[in-house]
Every structure is written in C-alpha cells, then in structure tokens.
Structure 1
Amino acid sequence: MTSRVLEASGGVKQVICISWGTKYGAPFINRLFAMVKRNITPPFTFTCFTDSRVGLNPEILCEDLPPLDVVMPVNTRGIWPKARLWSQTLGSLKGPVLFLDLDLVIVSSLDEFFEIGDADDIVMAKNQTTPLERLGQTSLFRFPVGKLLPLLEKFRADPQGVADTYRYEQRFVSRNAPGGVSFFPRRWVLHFRQDCRWPFPLNYFLAPRLPKDARVVIFPRGLHPQHAIEGRYGEKGLVTTPLQHVLSVFDKKQRRKKAPFRYLRHYIRPTPWVADHWRE
C-alpha cells in the first residue's frame, strides 16, 4: 500500500542533495547517488542542486542552485547555504523530498524514511550530541517543497542575526519550522563518532562498529568517511599505529593543543565497513 507521503509525490521517492564550491564535488555526489540506488526501492529520483555538473553520473538529475541573494553569516558553525533549499520551488519537484548530506554513508534501506508521518510533516534525524534538547539534524531530513519558505524569509531579513542567535541552521529549523518538527527513530541515523567508535581505551584495539539497526551513518564536524576508512581522526589526523599514537601524547606539537586524555580518545582504527558502503 502506498504511504500518504508517497501519494503526495506521485508514488516516487524523491531524494535531493546540494553542492557548491570545490570542497566535495562529483566524487561525493556520485558515491551518494550509488548508495541511494543500492538502498531504495524504485521508483525514485535523485536530484542534485549544484553550481557544477562536471563529472556527475548522467543518471543524476541536476538543477541549478536556488537563488539566495544574501551575505552569508560569518563566525558560525552552521551550514547556512543550505537555506537555498527552503525556497518556494525546487526545480520541478513537488511534495515531500528527503535531503541527504554528501558525506554520510547509507548502510541499509531508505524506504521507510518515506513511510513515517504525513506528506506535510517535517521529519528530522535526531541530533545525538544534545540529548536533552529537542534538536533535529539536517544531515538527513524530509520536508515538503515550499513549506520552509517562512524560514528563508526570516533568514534573508537578517542572516547574521539569525546565525548569531541559533549558531546552527539545524537549530533554526528545529525551533521555527511551520507546524513544528518530528523525528525519525533514533537508531536509524547514527553519529559515527558517538555511536560507532569505541570509547578509550577500546578504540585502540577495536575498529569502529556498525550497529545492526543503523540505516544511515552521519559524519559531522570534519571527520569524513575517507578518514574513517584510513583510520585517522579528521583532516589533520595522522595514520599511526596504536602504540605510535599513545607515545605521541607526550608531543605537544602533534597533540595540537588537545588535552592528553582528549587526544587519546581521538584515535580510530581503520573502518572496513565504511569502504564497503561508501563507493560507487
């Protein structure tokens, strides 16, 4: 039986992403499309809103970035260019769409993300880093095209003020979305650092785990799937043996001002299951 969500989009599961600049580009977009295709039951569409179509898989539907004529806020951690997706229209798409960040890893079926709630609902992944706050995660969320327009108008009126007040775009969406937000089941969308890597000292002996009920694993704050595959903690992390990493705690330069215990916690072994899923 077709869900109310799919009825509003003609029975088609609509997946979208957004890309600008050179930080990610075609390799990330193509991997994301391949993961979606392996983990979704047709019919579906995959649309990328982008400023460059070079090198993209021809099966990907491409649309220009929606216009956003504002000066982007500074000194904030929020990914505010995502506000483009709050437009009244998104290309030719109508009804509910599922947004995915470019650097997440899909490990199981996406189908049920289109079965929860009603077509007009805004449904977010639960933010795991602030469990006492009713905060959503915009790495993965579903919304009907056009419903977030009031947020765009509020942001456009004072982008720096909004960013200073909320810091993260996901907090702005969580607290101001028309009609409020609901959440996907907590264990469907996992946080790699919090849910997959082992605490100290087990992180030196065991590779990060993949919980069996996971569907998507997100990689916020600079630790990308490729880093997990290689076994390094972020862009500036080094690939070392466990013993090398433990000994380097005495090297303040290599610790890069991290407290000793924090430095010891920030070690991961290579993670093969990420490579198994994060591929074209």
Structure 2
Amino acid sequence: MSQVKKQLICINWGSKYGAEYINRLYAMVARNITPPFSFTCFTDNCRGIRGEVKLEPLPELDFELPVTEKGIWPKCRLWNEKLGHLSGPVLFLDLDLVITGNLDDFFSFGNPDDVILARNPSNPLERLGQTSIYRFPVGKLLPLLEQFSKSPAEIAKSYKYEQRYVTRNAPNGIKFWPKPWVLHFRHHCRPTFPFNYFIPAKCPASSKVVIFPGDLNPVDAIQGRYHSDEPIRTAAEHIQLIFKAERKRSVTAHLRHYILPTTWVEKLWRE
C-alpha cells in the first residue's frame, strides 16, 4: 500500500465554504489514511488554510460557466489537461462529506486509468454516478471539458448535473466504488418514517465515506434539522406543523423530513 501514490484534491470558490471546511477535510483525511499522501486544494482564496494543504489557483477556463440551479458545474475546472503539480490518478473529495473509515482502498481499487464514481441512489433506475468522491487520471476528462466549452448552457440544461455528464461521457466509461464504501446520508443512514422521530441516523460499520448531496449537510445532521433554511424543532413541534399553514410540504413529505441530532457526525466531522 505504501507504494501506491495517494493524491487527494478538493476545490473551493466563492464564499459558501470557508477555510474551516478545507482544514476539517484535511484533518479527516490525515486520520484515515496510510502516509505518505498529498492533499491539494484548488481555490480562489488561500486565507486561513492550514500549512499541510498544498494550494493551487483555480484552473482557468476560456468560456463562461453557466448559471444553473442544479449541478455544480465549476467542478469542470478539474477536467483540465493539467492540474498544478499533479499527474496520474487523483481522488476528488467534496468539502461537505464525512470520512468514516480508512481511505487506502480508494487508491488501489481498479486500474490507474479508470474513472471511478460513487453510486447515486437518488435515481435507482438510472446507472448514475456521484461525483462527491471520484477518482480519475489528470487530463483524462479533458474531452468532456472541450465538449462542454462549446455549448456550456445547452449541456448544463440537458444533463442538469455535472455527475450525469461525467457518467455518460467519460472516455472508456466509468466504474463504481463497492456499494458499502460510500453511503448517502439521506438514503442510507437516516431512519425512515416513523422511526426518524425516535432513532438517530446510524453510521454502518462498512462505510468509509458518507456523502451529503442536496439540502441536508453535516451541520444540519449535527443540529438535527433536515433543511438549513428552517429552524431547529423538537419532534413534537415538527409534528404540530402538520396542522399549520406555515408547513411548506405535503403531509407525507413533511413527516419524512425530520431527523434527530446525529452525534457521530459531530464526532467525526472535525479538525
């Protein structure tokens, strides 16, 4: 395992996530990997980032990124032919995931030339990958960037999510991580109704990473709320909203959208 080149990358732009997210992610990686490894952040703001993180500017684009409600299209910067000082396979990590187990196997699984994604459980009838944690060789996804640059608005509208675009167009196709390794918090960890009102979300022992696509993020899981823009409520208060006009969703959706505070996220998601 020590002979495997372990290169991890992340990307940060704008003001949504600060240095604390990058520092926290690095710390989780360092606690769950066999050295040596490198951790590189591509960012437009280097302030406050811990010294162990290698910093690179955001890869440049020669076209305007589309403004969309869905899909994190600025990630396409990482499809460039060159990524700073890096070469060969790199493992990309979202800033808001939680590392729950050892990461070494993510570097030895498959072949070095593979593009390997997590499975997206939100679309069970579609063979769709999830780019919250995925591995690819530097430069291999350049054809996707070149194609995207010709009609970014049309492609973003057609595919909706950049992960669908990668899934459908990666050269030589994609592979998936073994199912138990990467779990989706909403789909795999939180209890279904009515147990969500009595039992906190669980962290299966088989997992190595838990991802948080969509509205519910680690901060929400720690605090015990399903949507960041809604106040924290007790189970009784949440149920009482069924009978009030301020309820935003159908009764069934409202009852599903409740979680108790998740202590294991608080324990693991830290610097």
Q: TM-score, length-normalised on structure 2?
A: 0.98
Corresponding pairs, count: 271
Partner of 2:102: 109
Q: 2:208 aligns with which of 208, 215, 233?
A: 215
Q: Please say which of residues 123-132 and 143-152 is displaced more in the overlay.
A: 123-132
Alignment of 1:176-215 (within 5 A): 176-215=169-208
Shift, 1:252, TM fit: 2.3
Residues 184-211 of structure 1: CA distance to partner in whole angstroms, max 9, x if unpaired? 0112111111101101110000001111
What is the SS of the residue equivalent to 1:223?
Answer: coil
Partner of 2:260: 269
What is the SS of the residue equivalent to 2:38?
Answer: strand
Residues 29-56 of structure 1: CA distance to partner in whole angstroms, max 9, x if unpaired? 1110000000000010000000001010
Shift, 1:70, TM fit: 2.0
Moved segments of 4+, more than 3 Å: none
CA distance in 1, matches of 2:126, 2:242: 34
Residue 122 of structure 2 is aligned to residue 129 of structure 1:
yes
Q: Is the 1:76–1:163 contact (alpha carbons within 8 Å) kept by the matching residues of 2?
A: no
Partner of 1:236: 229
Partner of 2:88: 95
Q: Is the 1:127–1:136 contact (alpha carbons within 8 Å) kept by the matching residues of 2?
A: yes
Q: Is the 2:81–2:140 contact (alpha carbons within 8 Å) kept by the matching residues of 1?
A: yes
Structure 1 portions without partners, runs of 5+: none
Residues 141-184 of structure 1: CA distance to partner in whole angstroms, max 9, x if unpaired? 00000000000000111000111111100000000000100000
Q: Is the 1:76–1:168 contact (alpha carbons within 8 Å) kept by the matching residues of 2?
A: no
Partner of 2:77: 84
Alignment of 1:243-254 (within 5 A): 243-253=236-246
The code of the aligned residue for 1:181 comes to I
Q: 1:173 aligns with which of 166, 170, 174?
A: 166
CA distance in 2, matches of 1:206, 1:223: 17
CA distance in 1, matches of 2:241, 2:124: 33
Q: 1:42 aligns with which of 8, 32, 35?
A: 35
Q: Is the 2:5–2:107 contact (alpha carbons within 8 Å) kept by the matching residues of 1?
A: no
CA distance in 1, matches of 2:7, 2:231: 39
What is the SS of the residue equivalent to 1:66?
Answer: coil
Shift, 1:234, TM fit: 2.0
Q: Is the 1:229–1:271 contact (alpha carbons within 8 Å) kept by the matching residues of 2?
A: yes
Residues 27-84 of structure 1: CA distance to partner in whole angstroms, max 9, x if unpaired? 1111100000000000100000000010101110000000023222234401000000
The code of the aligned residue for 2:237 comes to Q
The code of the aligned residue for 2:187 comes to Q
* Aligned alpha-carbon RMSD (Å): 1.1
Shift, 1:238, TM fit: 2.0
What is the SS of the residue equivalent to 2:46?
Answer: coil
Structure 2 portions without partners, runs of 5+: none
The code of the aligned residue for 1:46 comes to F
The code of the aligned residue for 2:228 comes to E
Partner of 1:140: 133
Shift, 1:97, TM fit: 0.2
